[in-house]
Chains A and B, each alone.
Chain A
Amino acid sequence: MITLKNVSKIFNAGRPNEFHALKNVTLTVAREKITVFKGPSGSGKTTLLSLIGCMSRPSSGRIFVDGRETTSLPERFLSDIRRSAFGFIFQNYNLIKGITVLENTMLPAYPTGRRHAEVKADAMKLLARLNIDAKAGQKVEQLSGGEQQRTAIARALINNPAVIIADEPTAHLDMALSMEFLDIVSGLFRQRKTILMASHDPLVFEAGIVDAVVEMRDGSILEEKQIP
Chain B
Amino acid sequence: MIERQRYLLDFAISSLTRRRWKNLALAVIYAGMVFLFTSVVLFADAVRKEAAAVLKDTPDMVIQRNMAGRHDLMPLAYQGLIAEVRGVSDVKPRLWGYYYHQAAAANYTVTATPEFGLAENEAAVGSGVMRTWGTLGDNELYMRAYDGTPVVLKIKAVLNAETDLVAADLILITEAAFRRIFGIPAGFATDMVARIRNAKEALTIAEKVFVRLPDTRPVLKTDILKTYAAIFDWRSGYIIVQLFGAMLAFFIFAWDKATGLTGEERAEIGILKALGWDTSDILMLKFWEGIFISLNAFLVGTAAAYVHVFFSRAPLFEHALKGWSVLYPAFRLQPEIDPFRAAAVFALTVVPYSIMTIIPAWKVAVTEPDAAMRNI
Residues of A within 8 A of B (CB): 50, 53, 55-57, 75-76, 79-80, 82-84, 88, 90, 92, 94, 96-99, 103, 107-108, 110-116, 155, 159
Contact = CB atoms under 8 A, between A and B. Distances in A.
Contact of A88 (B8, B275, B279): B275
Interface in B30-66: none
Nearest to B376: A92
Contact of A79 (B3, B18, B277, B373): B277
Contacts of A114: 3
Given A92-B376, A94-B376, A99-B18, A55 B369 contact: yes
23 contacts: A55-B273, A55-B368, A56-B370, A75-B278, A76-B278, A76-B280, A79-B273, A79-B276, A79-B279, A82-B273, A82-B274, A82-B275, A82-B276, A82-B369, A88-B274, A96-B271, A98-B17, A98-B18, A107-B11, A108-B275, A110-B281, A113-B4, A114-B3
Contacts of B6: 116
Contacts of B281: 110-111
Contact of B279 (A76, A92, A159): A76
A97 B19 CA distance: 11
Nearest to A99: B14
A57 B6 CA distance: 31
B268 A96 contact: yes
Interface string B260-277: 000010011001111111
A111 B273 CA distance: 11
Interface string B1-32: 10110111001001001100000000000000
Please name the 8 residue pairs, one residue from A and one from B, whose CB atoms are nearest each other, closest first: A83-B276, A98-B18, A113-B4, A110-B7, A56-B370, A79-B278, A108-B275, A55-B370
Contact of B368 (A57, A88, A115, A159): A57
A203 B334 CA distance: 79
A116 B278 CA distance: 19
B371 interface: yes
